[in-house]
Amino acid sequence: MKIQPFTGSDADYAALVELNRQVEPDRHFTIAGLRAAEAERATHHRTARFLGQTDGQTVATGLYWLETDEPGQTHHFSLAVHPAYQQSSVPRQMQDYLLARMEAEQPVAITSNPKEDERYRIRLLDEDGFALKMRFPRSFLDVTGVDCAAYEPLLARLRGQGIRFVTLSDVIAEDPEWQHNVWRMFTAIDRDIPSPEAYTETPFAEYAEYYSGDDYRPDSWAIAIDDSRAGVERYVGMCVVNLMSTRPDSLFAGITGVIPSHRRRKIATALKTRSVAYAQQNGFRKIYTDNEEHNPMYNLNQQLGFQPLPAWLYYKRG
């Protein structure tokens, strides 16, 4: 196999699209979509992608990235191999190549996130001394079969307690400080979400970039407001769902959570049902998500009818 840098040319993107379609045939890949994803990644990371070719056909791709150019960074990598070559020497060649490139930069650690059905990748990581640190089950919900009316008594009870459910569009219309206030709520929720690495607060400037992403729709965000409070303290919960470029009929549920003072009141359940209702009303068929397996949100998703998919696995060496 010949391994060469990904140039970003139309030909390279066309090859990457075709490879991705072979690896994940249930998703819809386009050159424009991949260009946007690569550009988004490059705004926050230094990245290096490579293509592996055999007999003129692109059969593998490898990618590694890190936060900055400073020494002692943790490096992260992924690779994808054409199904016909997953049991050949191709995966080993690509992983060896990526590891050699990263190790030359003397990283403090290296991580990778295969799916649990990618047995060829897990075998290589085990052979190279990586350890499984955390598991993130993936799942999806077919919203066409959900009866949102069944949750109306819950919503009515919470409204009676002064909890109001709105969209981010509503928040924007009524709060001049909405960007900072939503970020503060996000931070209060995010610090309690299980993670394989030590928690670091997302700076406001970085979080605010989320509001300009191609997948961002403020009317799809469900926000819980406690009208007995004032200012930023009013914002007590959020459920964020965004567009999926590779699944046009679906949404992806990112963070769902409630600030500590308002937990154990089923506010998160109510927020989830608002997102399901949004999907139904706007012609989406499915909602995808993933959660760390000990996160209470994982159990909530199961109760709502989310169906399991192969989990993401977090492997680390160093």
Model pLDDT for residues 221-244, shown as the tens digit of each residue: 999 999 999 888 999 999 999 999
- Does residue 192 share a domain with residue 119? no
pTM: 0.92
Query: What percent of the chain has pLDDT above 70?
Result: 99
Q: Is residue 134 part of a domain?
A: no
Q: Are residues 66 and 150 in the same domain?
A: no
CATH number at residue 121: 3.40.630.30
Residue-wise pLDDT for 23-78, tens only, equals 999 999 999 999 999 988 888 889 999 999 999 999 999 999 997 766 678 999 99
Q: Could you list the residue range(s) of the whole structural domain that residue 250 is in?
A: 139-313
pLDDT in tens, 158-200: 999 999 999 999 999 999 999 999 999 999 999 999 998 889 9
Residues 303 and 269 in one domain: yes
Q: Which of 104, 129, 154 is the last residue of a domain?
A: 129
Assess whether 104 and 199 both reside in one domain. Answer: no
Which of 88, 108, 129 is where one domain is finished? 129
Same domain, 12 and 84: yes
Judge if 195 and 91 occupy the same domain.
no
Q: How would residue 120 be classed by pLDDT, with cut points 50, 70 and 90?
A: very high
62-118 pLDDT, tens digit per residue, is: 999 997 766 678 999 999 999 999 999 999 999 999 999 999 999 999 999 999 999
Please give the pLDDT value at position 43: 81
Q: How many domains does the chain have?
A: 2
Top-confidence residue, 123 or 212: 123
| 179 shares a domain with 151 | yes
pLDDT tens digits, 245-270: 999 999 999 999 999 999 999 999 99
pLDDT tens, residue by residue, 269-281? 999 999 999 999 9
42 and 150 both lie in a single domain? no
Verify that 172 and 245 share a domain, yes or no: yes
SS (H, E, C) the chain: CEEEECCCCHHHHHHHHHHHHHHCCCCCCCHHHHHHHHHHHHHHCEEEEEEEEECCEEEEEEEEEECCCCCCCEEEEEEEECHHHCCCCHHHHHHHHHHHHHHCCCCCEEEECCECCCHHHHHHHHHCCCEEEEEEEEEEEEHHHCCHHHHHHHHHHHHHCCEEEEEHHHHHHHCCCHHHHHHHHHHHHHCCCCCCCCCCCCCHHHHHHHHHCCCCCHHHCEEEEECCCCHHHHEEEEEEEEECCCCCCEEEEEEEEECHHHCCCCHHHHHHHHHHHHHHHCCCCEEEEECCCCCHHHHHHHHHCCEEEEEEEEEEEC
In a domain, 318, yes or no: no
Whether 233 and 210 map to the same domain: the answer is yes
Residue 304 has pLDDT above 90, yes or no: yes
